[in-house]
């Protein structure tokens, strides 16, 4: 809120914003300033204006489809920690993931989402809880790659072979996951392209003296590696 007030006092000509979605009053204040605005990356449900970002629901569908296609029958989604469960990106991931499970007649899709967190240790601990909830667990989609790395570590400690006994995938396509010894299947999101597009949309609006408008969603890309090569 303070940052928005400072920017308004500086009379900035436009604003790109990644909302934390913790307080709807933030968006109300932005509207009051009258600054041209583009929301980037993920979109709060109460924002009806210009948005450029990832098709996060499609990423959730992509993850569930891939896990089922490689042979998983007891998959689970490890999402963010409890304090971030409201965040629209994680809500959309879960929605997409569960939509495919329902379509493919996998039982109790909503119960297959477990709060975890976004760090390596979070994933490590979450796999233990996931296996207790689903003893036949054979596939895990994590809300980011760091959590997935923690899941892979916990699987090793439990004597499970990642990519054989347990399929593991994340989202972010971090460079560490591309290392051959890790080989993490992940979903790539075109953040650089999103940033360039959002900046251009904002600049066009400023130069044409109009408020930026419209919504652009960029599709995810599945990057398959050894961590989901069941068999």
For residue 57, which of 99, 85, 94, 96 has the smallest C-alpha distance?
96
Tell me, what's the pLDDT at 231?
59
Instruction: Give the pLDDT of residue 11.
Output: 86
For residue 23, what pLDDT is reported? 77
What tokens does 166 get?
A: 């347990």
CATH topology assigned to domain 2-54+190-222:
Rossmann fold (3.40.50)
Query: pLDDT tens for residues 124-157?
Result: 999 999 999 999 999 999 999 999 999 999 999 9
pTM for this entry = 0.91
CB atoms within 10 A of CB 85: 13
Torsions phi, psi for 51 (to 5 deg): -145, 135
Domain spans of the chain? 2-54+190-222, 56-188
What does pLDDT average to over the chain? 93
- Fold of the 56-188 domain: Rossmann fold (3.40.50)
Residue 220: band (very low, low, confident or very high) from pLDDT cuts 50, 70, 90: very high
pLDDT tens profile 43-72 = 888 788 899 999 999 999 999 999 999 999
**Which residues in 173-196 are b (16+ Cβ under 10 Å) and which e?**
bbeebeeeebbbbbbebeeeebee
82-139 pLDDT tens trace: 989 889 999 999 999 999 999 999 989 999 999 999 999 999 999 999 999 999 999 9
Residue 20 banded pLDDT, cuts 50, 70, 90: confident
| pLDDT at site 229 | 87
The residue ranking higher by pLDDT, 183 or 86, is: 183
Share of the chain above pLDDT 70, in %: 100
Q: Cα 127 to chain center, whole Å? A: 19
Q: Do domains 2-54+190-222 and 56-188 have the same CATH topology?
A: yes
For the chain, give the percent of residues with pLDDT over 90: 76
Q: Is the pLDDT of residue 166 over 90?
A: yes
Averaged pLDDT for residues 190-205: 95
DSSP string, 143-200: SSHHHHHHHHHHHHHTT--BTTTBEEEEES--GGGGSTTT--EEEE--HHHHHHHHHH
């Amino acid at each position: 809120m303070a940052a928005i007030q400072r920017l308004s006092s500086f009379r900035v000509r436009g604003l790109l914003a990644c909302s934390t979605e913790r307080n709807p009053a933030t968006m109300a204040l932005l509207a009051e300033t009258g600054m041209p605005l583009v929301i980037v990356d993920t979109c709060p449900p109460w924002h009806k204006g210009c948005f450029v970002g990832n098709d996060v629901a499609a990423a959730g569908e992509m993850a569930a489809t891939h896990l089922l296609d490689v042979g998983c029958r007891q998959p689970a989604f490890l999402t963010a920690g409890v304090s971030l469960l409201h965040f629209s990106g994680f809500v959309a991931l879960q929605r997409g993931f569960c939509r495919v499970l329902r379509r493919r007649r996998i039982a109790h899709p909503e119960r297959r989402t477990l709060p975890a967190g976004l760090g390596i240790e979070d994933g490590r601990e979450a796999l233990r809880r996931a296996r207790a909830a689903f003893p036949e667990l054979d596939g895990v989609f994590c809300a980011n790659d760091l959590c997935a790395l923690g899941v892979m570590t916990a699987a090793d400690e439990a004597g499970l072979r990642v990519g054989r006994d347990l399929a593991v995938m994340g989202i972010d396509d971090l460079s560490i996951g591309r290392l051959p010894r890790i080989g993490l299947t992940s979903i790539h999101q075109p953040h650089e392209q999103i940033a360039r597009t959002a900046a251009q949309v904002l600049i066009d609006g400023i130069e044409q003296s109009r408020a930026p408008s419209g919504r652009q969603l960029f599709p995810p890309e599945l990057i398959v590696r050894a961590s989901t090569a069941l068999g």
